[in-house]
Amino acid sequence: MTKSELEDLLRRAGKIARDQDFFLIGSQALRGISPVIPRDFPKTYEADLYPRRYPQAWGLLRTELGNTSTFFKRRGYYLDCVDPGLATLPDGWTERLIPFRTPRTGGVTAWCLEPHDLFASKLSAWRSKDEDFLAAMLRHKFAKPEIVRRRIAELPVSNSHRPKLFENLNKLVREFQLQKNFPAKEKIKCPPP
């Protein structure tokens, strides 16, 4: 999804929901700190938005702008109404939200997850698409491992699950360090047998 597509989606969502404020909790939340998302990030066609003041509008938003809508069929991108209550987010995340609003959003603001909160949430979900996204966040310095470690400690997860989150973070950091030391463009020559 491009910045202009997100702006269009926000403007339309604002009119439909009669709401000027939305939570933006998925990968597009990086728009809060960077209008340009590097090309090597996994591609996405949806924005995970949720009306901040009028949550009862989610059904209408899904019908008009969701993945089965005429809008999606015509435009190729869509709104996914994701309730922040369903995501695993660190304590205090609402105090760290970052506003995204441009002249093209028609006065609508997307309240984006702070990158370390986004990282911790995706780390908790740990789907293959999240793993690729998190690796790209590290590669482009959108997140610092030491801050992510603090956010993991603030997640509302069981003490038995928390070590797995630290393990997954450490795995990503190790892979990132290897890529820094041996970029994919370098060919490593093996000696003949």
DSSP string, 116-175: HHHHHHHHHH--HHHHHHHHHHHHTTS--HHHHHHHHHTS---TTTHHHHHHHHHHHHHH
Which DSSP category does 110 fall into?
E
- Choice among 23-27, 94-98, 153-157, 188-192 with the minimum mean pLDDT: 188-192
Q: Are the C-beta atoms of 7 and 104 separated by less than 8 Å?
A: yes
Binned at pLDDT 50, 70 and 90, residue 135 comes out as very high
* Average pLDDT taken over every residue of the chain: 92
- Choice among 38-47, 50-59, 182-191 with the minimum mean pLDDT: 182-191
pLDDT of residue 90: 97
pTM here is 0.90
Judged by phi (left if over 0) then psi (alpha if -120 to 50, else beta), residue 76 lies in left
**pLDDT digit string, tens, across residues 90-122:** 999 999 999 999 999 999 999 999 999 999 999
Alpha carbon separation from 100 to 20, 35, 37, 72, 115 (Å, rounded): 12, 9, 14, 22, 13
Binned at pLDDT 50, 70 and 90, residue 178 comes out as confident
